[in-house]
Each structure stands twice: as C-alpha cells, then as structure tokens.
C-alpha cells in the first residue's frame, strides 16, 4: 500500500511593499461618467470615506453638472469626493494627500480612469489651500481627520481661495455655527447630519 499523500505546501504570501495602502474595503462613485466605479479604501488611522448618502446629498445641493469648475480636495484620502467632481465634468480637480501610499493609490486610479482633469499632489492640505490664488476656486473640499486641529486653518485658507459664487464643503464631527463661520467671512448654506458626520456647504459672506 502506498503511504499517505503529502499535502502541498501553500505558496508563500507576497510581502507588502513598504508604505503600500492595504485594503479595508471600497466605496463607489455615485454619479457622472464613472458612476459605480469602485475606489479602494486603505487601512489608515483616521481615514473615513464620506458616506454615500452624504455624497449624494452634497451633489444634489451643488447640482449634478460641474462642467468647467475648478475644484480642490484638500484631504483626499480615497479620492471619493474629488473623483465625484471630475466624473461630473469639472475642468480641474486637484487631489491633495500627505500619505505616500494613498498618493500612489490615487495616481494609479487617475491613470486607470484616464482622468485628464485630475492631478494628484503629495502635500499638506492646509498648505495647498494657502497656495491657491485668491477667489480662484469654485469648490473646495475640506474633510480632514476628525481628531486633528486642521478645521480652523483650513477654513481660513479656503475662505480666501473660494470664488465669490463658489462653495466650500466641510465635513466635521460637530456642527459649525454662524458665530464661528462669520468671522472667517463665511455663511452656512446647507447642513446635514448623518450619524457622526456633520456635512456643511458654505459660501462667502
């Protein structure tokens, strides 16, 4: 009788590249030319993609056609907000992200979609906002880590960069009031609470 069959050894797993963005799920673009395109969500502390319901509401507020708009996503993360803008016809979308692994992921996605209107930049989000020409942007997206202290400086910079007819989107763990916004030259245009997220659409005063 022959002896017991030997089990084949499993192939060794490929080692992850240093700094690579490991998968923790995915979100989907909900409108425009890339509707239903999947975006990977990496395992990163503080990375919190904007929920589908909130993104859907935001683009209902803005209107679905962003043709010709200049947009900046200052804390891009998965890129969901910025790619939603490009999917709806924005003329230029700058995705700013400080994490090298996420930047690589965003650049790969940009290439896969052949998103010529999108540019990916590794930088500090507040610094990128401060580098914008005054009153030059139709939409500034501000969704920093909730446990940081980036909200006030980001809003101060965005208030200078937004065009007179433009918008600032702010995602925060608590509601911002007119008493906090008015000294920055901003007013609340729309507000939504969804779970732990407060979504604000702001305009110049």
- Per domain, the residue ranges of the chain are 23-204
- Lowest-confidence region among 13-22, 74-83, 104-113, 170-179: 13-22
> Residue 94 pLDDT more than 90?
yes
pLDDT band of residue 196 (cuts 50, 70, 90) is: confident
What's the CATH class of domain 23-204?
A: alpha beta
Is 45 a residue whose pLDDT tops 70?
Answer: no
Mean pLDDT check: name the lowest of 10-24, 81-95, 111-125, 132-146.
10-24
Residue 46 pLDDT level (bands cut at 50, 70, 90): low
Q: In the sheet that 197-204 helps form, which strands lie side by side, from edge to edge? A: 118-122, 92-97, 70-73, 137-142, 162-172, 197-204, 186-194
Q: Specify the pLDDT at position 49.
A: 75
Residue 47 has pLDDT above 70, yes or no: no
84 band by pLDDT with thresholds 50, 70 and 90: very high
What is the predicted pLDDT for the residue at 14?
A: 36
Number of H helices, E strands in the chain: 6, 9
Which of 2-6, 36-40, 109-113 reaches the highest mean pLDDT?
109-113
CA angle (61 as vertex; 154, 69 as ends), nearest 5: 65
The encoded tokens of residue 82 equal 């910025």
pTM score of the predicted model? 0.85
- Whether 61 and 90 have beta carbons less than 8 Å apart is answered as no
Q: Which pLDDT belongs to residue 18?
A: 37
What does pLDDT average to over the chain? 87
């Amino acid at each position: 009788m022959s002896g017991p069959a030997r089990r084949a050894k499993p192939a060794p797993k490929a080692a992850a590249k240093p700094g690579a963005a490991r998968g923790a799920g995915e979100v989907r673009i909900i409108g425009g030319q890339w509707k239903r395109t999947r975006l990977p969500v990496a395992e990163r502390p503080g990375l919190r993609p904007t929920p589908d319901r909130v993104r859907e509401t935001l683009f209902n507020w803005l209107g679905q056609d962003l043709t010709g708009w200049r947009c900046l996503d200052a804390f891009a993360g998965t890129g969901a907000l910025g790619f939603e803008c490009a999917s709806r016809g924005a003329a230029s979308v700058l995705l700013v992200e400080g994490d090298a692994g996420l930047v690589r992921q965003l650049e790969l996605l940009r290439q896969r979609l052949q998103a010529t209107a999108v540019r990916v930049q590794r930088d500090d989000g507040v610094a990128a906002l401060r580098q914008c020409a005054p009153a030059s942007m139709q939409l500034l997206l501000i969704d920093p880590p909730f446990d940081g202290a980036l909200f006030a400086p980001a809003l101060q910079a965005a208030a200078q960069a937004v065009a007179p007819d433009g918008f600032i989107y702010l995602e925060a763990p608590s509601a911002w009031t007119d008493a906090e916004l008015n000294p920055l030259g901003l007013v609340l245009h729309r507000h939504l609470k969804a779970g732990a997220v407060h979504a604000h659409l702001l305009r110049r005063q």
